Amino acid sequence: MTSDNDTRNVVDQYKGWPQQQIVDDLDAHGTSLEIVLDNVSRDFNMGTIVRTANAFGVRNVHIVGRRQWNKRGAMMTDKYLHVHYYGTVSSLMETIIPRPLVAVDNVAGSIPLGSVTLPPNAVLLFGAEGSGIRPELLQRASMIVAIEQFGSTRSLNVGVAAGIAMYTWLQQQKIV
């Protein structure tokens, strides 16, 4: 495939490259940030978060719970990063230890996101809308942050929250 007829949703630099070569290059130059999704149930949210993770250079997305999801919303970006599935919290924790797990949730006791510096090797954790992050994972988080809000709504869409938190990490760790 030449770059002139490459219709994939990739930046110009990767037009015409085979998929595996793109993955290898991204692995070599991506960020250290990783993402965990806990029981996110809406396909749109899963796709949005995976697509955003790809855009921000995240190389690994860890999914606890639901394994099947409609990847259409990810616009094929899931093909260019590594998606890992876990049936249990303990199997996830074995994989990410010793990296700090930073939960993003608006629960009591959370710290405003704007007041903290996220760790360079952070694993950001997001939960399902409504039920949030399961208590078992919240207890294992080294930090729980909440995105400051100033309107009448109680919470943000998880896809939006993930984008804000990932970009905050990029501002603090990569965009200097």
CATH topology of domain 32-173: Alpha/beta knot (3.40.1280)
> What pLDDT is recorded for position 110?
96
* Distance separating alpha carbons of residues 80 and 78, to the nearest angstrom: 5
**Contact yes or no for 116/100 (Cβ under 8 A):** no
**Contact yes or no for 167/56 (Cβ under 8 A):** yes
Residues of the chain with CATH 3.40.1280.10: 32-173
Distances (CA, A) of 124 to 39, 59, 87, 100: 14, 13, 18, 9
∠ CA 109-32-90 to the nearest 5 degrees? Answer: 60
> What pLDDT is recorded for position 4?
75
> What pLDDT is recorded for position 66?
67
> What pLDDT is recorded for position 132?
86
> What pLDDT is recorded for position 175?
87
* Distance separating alpha carbons of residues 36 and 99, to the nearest angstrom: 12
Tokens matching residue 55: 């855009």
Helix axes 158-173, 43-55, angle to 10 degrees: 10
Give me the tens of pLDDT residue by residue for the chain, a chain 176 residues long.
667 788 888 889 999 999 999 999 999 999 999 999 998 776 778 888 998 999 999 999 999 986 555 555 556 678 889 999 999 999 999 999 899 999 999 999 999 999 999 999 999 999 987 788 999 999 999 999 999 999 998 888 899 999 999 999 999 999 86
* Distance separating alpha carbons of residues 90 and 126, to the nearest angstrom: 17
- Three-class DSSP category at 23: helix
- Matching residue, tokens 């007041």: 115
Q: Identify the CA nearest to 74 among candidates 61, 85, 92, 89.
A: 61
> What pLDDT is recorded for position 14?
93
> What pLDDT is recorded for position 18?
94
